[in-house]
Amino acid sequence: MMKKLIASIKKIAIKMPKLDLSKTKVGIQLGERAIKVVVLKKGKNKSWEVVKEIVEPISEDIIKGGKVLQPELLGLKIREIFRDGEINVKKAALFLEEMLFFTRQINLPKMPKKEVETSLHYKAQLDIPDDMKKLTLSYSLINTVEEEGIARNKYVVIAAYKEQIKQVVSALKTAGLSISMFGTEPDAVYEGIKFSGALSEDKELIMAVKMLNNRMMIAIYDNGKLIYSRYTPFGFDSEEWGAEIERSIVSWDRTHVQSRIQEVLLLGDKERWSMIKESIKSSLEIDVRVVSFPNAPCIGIASKELGSDNLYKEQSLQITSEMSSSTKIAITAIIVLLFGFIFVQGQSMQLKKDINLLEKNIASASETVALLDREIAVRALLSELTEVQLNLADEHIDIISIINRMTPHQPASVRISQLSFSSNQLNVTGTAANQVDVIAFLKGLQSDPYFSVIKLNHATRSDEVVQFVFEVNEVRSGGGPEY
């Protein structure tokens, strides 16, 4: 009887159409001036090929500064593009140009996969200068490192505002689409360069640079994972572009001696980048290449594999609704045969009882293991926090005193987001409404006798505020903090 059942199932399986829902991929790039759409299809050699590329201009009041202002109009425009381009899919991967997000690197002890996201969320909220309830997190594992003889997993966490994602989701619903992948622009750029075949396999730490409407995107990747990115305004002088890239490389290498940038990839027209390429190579003795690959970011987001770095968390893969009728009939036939076999054997009731009992035992054991895993993770985090606290105490660092010393010199618009200590150096990170307040704050601290050596590391305008970093190399004694 069992042999006949297996033979019947094999016959049905052979006749079933293969459930391949990924023969076509679509990527959407949303920008202030244009919407770009690419369609990828699997070729005969099972590799992805670009079969369609569309660039459609849009009104500049629909998207501005990395935010969707009019989701309904955006959705109607996307629907029009898909209709005119004869693109018949229900899902698409996308990113929003210049969207604001935070990037942080976090090390965790090895733990069960189901505990990773909770632990990353806990540690990220200690470092990200905003309410975590407003943000959604995605993460990727970079590699495994050793800290004091203990193996730890190194993750990169990306946090984006839920409201920004909500507006894009609303636009896609108006267009009659759902989102398969919501990524960031720097990630899309890397995947596009990878798709073009221009990546060097022997380079672990790479910087990519891309020109936008009136800004320059600078991103750094560790083993293919985004670990740093920023957008900086620029003028029309190519020397200014080169100088900004060189400053970024020098600043990174100075603060990350063990992980220096190995290669710079300039995305765009070769002629436009030629002089800058030679200037950087001669000044810093680093590999610099120009990658000329049209629509690379849009192709990159389309080709990107789904994973934990997806910022869209509400997707549901309703595979059954996408099955053809013949597939559903075949699956139904298999179910009928299986239940028929159980009925003939006359043991269906006993089998159900045994299964229910087994499920209860498994659930109980799983809950116990989960509680133990959570306790281990919490203990590891508490141990790490205690270690940091002891290190600060050993170095006579009094954070409260430092903040109290800074407050009298702080203009109203200045917000301090982070104080970090590295190699006997205090880094003060914050934002201000304008450069005048940044300079006023700096001069005020320089006039304080307790801050003897303080200078501006860099200041850049981003999202209508000026972001700045001060370096304090020495704080005098006499009532003030010492280190």
pTM beyond 0.95, yes or no? no
- Of the two residues 327 and 428, the one the predictor is more confident about is 428
Q: pLDDT grade, residue 440 (50/70/90)?
A: very high
- Spatial CB neighbours of 92, under 8 Å, sequence gap ≥ 6: 26, 27, 28, 172, 177, 179, 180
Burial of 462: CB neighbours in 10 Å, binned 0-12, 13-18, 19+? middle
E strand or H helix at 42, and its extent?
strand 34-42
Is residue 381 over pLDDT 60?
no
Q: pLDDT grade, residue 351 (50/70/90)?
A: low
Mean pLDDT across 224-241:
82
Is residue 264 over pLDDT 80?
yes
Is residue 480 over pLDDT 60?
no
Q: pLDDT digit string (tens) for 50-68?
A: 999 999 999 989 999 899 9
Which of 50-59, 179-188, 472-481 comes out lowest in average pLDDT?
472-481
Is residue 347 over pLDDT 70?
no
Query: So what's the pLDDT on residue 171?
Result: 95
Q: pLDDT digit string (tens) for 189-230?
A: 999 999 988 887 778 899 999 987 778 899 999 988 999 999
Query: What percent of the chain has pLDDT above 70?
Result: 74
- Of the two residues 14 and 37, the one the predictor is more confident about is 37
Query: So what's the pLDDT on residue 19?
Result: 36
Domain positions in the chain: 323-394, 399-475
Query: So what's the pLDDT on residue 321?
Result: 40
Query: So what's the pLDDT on residue 151?
Result: 87
CA atoms of 287 and 58, how far apart (whole Å): 38
- Homologous superfamily of 399-475 in CATH? General secretion pathway protein M, EpsM (3.30.1360.100)
Task: Evaluate the CA torsion angle 90, 92, 96, 100 in order and state its sign.
Answer: positive
Query: So what's the pLDDT on residue 207?
Result: 95
Q: pLDDT grade, residue 373 (50/70/90)?
A: low
Nearest to 295 by CA among 51, 482, 10, 5: 51
Mean pLDDT across 155-183:
94
E strand intervals along 241-372: 263-267, 287-291
Query: What percent of the chain has pLDDT above 90?
Result: 38
Q: pLDDT digit string (tens) for 301-346?
A: 999 988 878 999 764 333 334 444 555 555 555 665 665 665 556 5
Which of 5-14, 132-141, 247-256, 452-461 comes out lowest in average pLDDT?
5-14
Query: So what's the pLDDT on residue 14?
Result: 47
Q: Helix, strand, or coil here: 152? A: strand
Which of 83-97, 274-288, 341-355 comes out lowest in average pLDDT?
341-355
- Chain center to CA of 331: 38
Token pair in block for residue 56: 């459609």
Query: So what's the pLDDT on residue 268?
Result: 85
Q: Helix, strand, or coil here: 481? A: coil
Q: pLDDT grade, residue 356 (50/70/90)?
A: confident
Provide the mean pLDDT of the chain.
81
CA atoms of 10 and 14, how far apart (whole Å): 6
Burial of 148: CB neighbours in 10 Å, binned 0-12, 13-18, 19+? exposed
Is residue 282 over pLDDT 70?
yes
